[in-house]
Structure 1
Amino acid sequence: MKPKLTVDGHNQLQTRLSKLRDEKTDARERIRTARKFCDFREDVTYAEAVDHYEQIETDILEIERVLDDAVIIESEQSKIVTFGNKVVIREVGEDETENYRIVGEAEANIENGTISISSPLGRSLLGAKVGQIVPIESPAGPIEFEVLKIEA
């Protein structure tokens, strides 16, 4: 199954890829510098530089794979929650509202207000209408959320 991305998510991954490529150049230079002054069997600085470089390379390959395979979906105004929509919800019995954009796994980041369509909350919200109560199974037990607003 091809990963789904919003236009914003695609742009964010492109920006992240560019930054990683710059970091990769810097990391390669750290390895060269560490190599000049180390005993490879014992030098922690060299080992850390190599590990950091390898992690950057892994991240680059993963982002490139996602970008190459992704289907980009533009969010549209809808009467039901669909991929890419921003949803305003409130836990039943609570006053505080929560805002989330429903996105693919590659761009989901709860701290940025994005949740995956494959998360329990994301799955439950898909297809919901304004005013609808959606149940979510959580480790602490069932929770109900009311859909207050759907935006493109």
Structure 2
Amino acid sequence: MATVPMTKQGAEMLKAELHRLKTIERPSVIQAIKEAREKGDLSENAEYDAAKERQGFIEGRIMEVEGKLSAAQIIDPTTLDADGRVVFASTVEIEDLESGDKKTYQIVGDDEADIKVHKISVSSPIARALIGKYAGDTVHVLAPGGEREVEIIDVRYE
């Protein structure tokens, strides 16, 4: 499996999810299966079927999270020395040249991305366009809403 880049915060988030899945979700679904079995005939037991399906989901997610954590390449943005270049985990302030809107994003791994807190996936169109550029550069972004032109105002490693 290839390495999965993520920030320290993203790794902690996955570790917390894994802990919750193993200590809360897994025991809960095992108890639900036990209770459904006690009701008798399993061939027409919707509660049993639902609990077994939930168990499959939980076990699959545990394997997925463990795989990502084992392949994780944890990047601490405060230790980056990229000479002002946009790289994974950097925080980038951009200005849309058409509208004048300014936005600030941190480029993070796919699992960490959350636009509500200004974290965009490294595989998103805007992040792919920004990677490797410097403050002052003008970048063309092919976004789902059409092509946009943005200027990089600032690049920080925080």
Which whole-Å CA distance do the structure 2 matches of 1:30 and 1:80 have between them? 52
Matched residue, 1:79: 84
Tell me what 1:8 maps to: 9
- Which moves more between the two structures, 86-95 or 128-137? 86-95
2:84·2:156 contact (CA, 8 Å) conserved in 1? no
Deviates more, 1:64-73 or 1:92-101: 92-101
RMSD over aligned CA atoms reads: 1.8
**2:146 aligns to what?**
141
Residue 2 of structure 1 contacts residue 69 of structure 1 at CA under 8 Å; is this kept in 2?
Answer: yes
* Identity in percent: 31
Letter in 2 for 1:11: E
Shift of 1:56: 0.8
1:29 offset after TM fit, Å?
0.9
> Which TM-score applies when normalising by structure 1?
0.89
Report whether the alignment pairs 1:123 with 2:124: no
What's the CA shift string for 1:123-142, capped at 9, x where partnerless? 11111222222111134421
Within the candidate set 27, 39, 42, 2:41 is matched to 39
Partner letter of residue 131 of structure 2? L
| Offset at residue 8 of structure 1 (A) | 0.9
Gaps of 5+ in 1: none
- Aligned position for 2:115: 110
Whether the 8 Å contact between 2:90 and 2:107 is mirrored in structure 1 is yes
Normalized against structure 2, the TM-score is what?
0.86
Alpha-carbon distance between aligned partners in 2 of 1:95 and 1:42, rounded to the nearest angstrom: 61
Would the aligned equivalents of 1:66 and 1:106 in 2 still touch at CA under 8 Å?
Answer: no
Contact 2:126–2:143, Cα closer than 8 Å, also in 1: no
Letter in 1 for 2:120: I
- Structure 1: which 4+ aligned runs deviate by more than 6 Å? none
Secondary structure of 2:54's aligned partner: helix
Q: Tell me the secondary structure at the aligned position of residue 19 of structure 1.
A: helix
C-alpha separation in 2, matches of 1:89 and 1:20: 38
Alignment partner of 1:24 out of 7, 26, 32: 26
Q: Is the 8 A contact 2:90 2:156 kept in 1?
A: yes
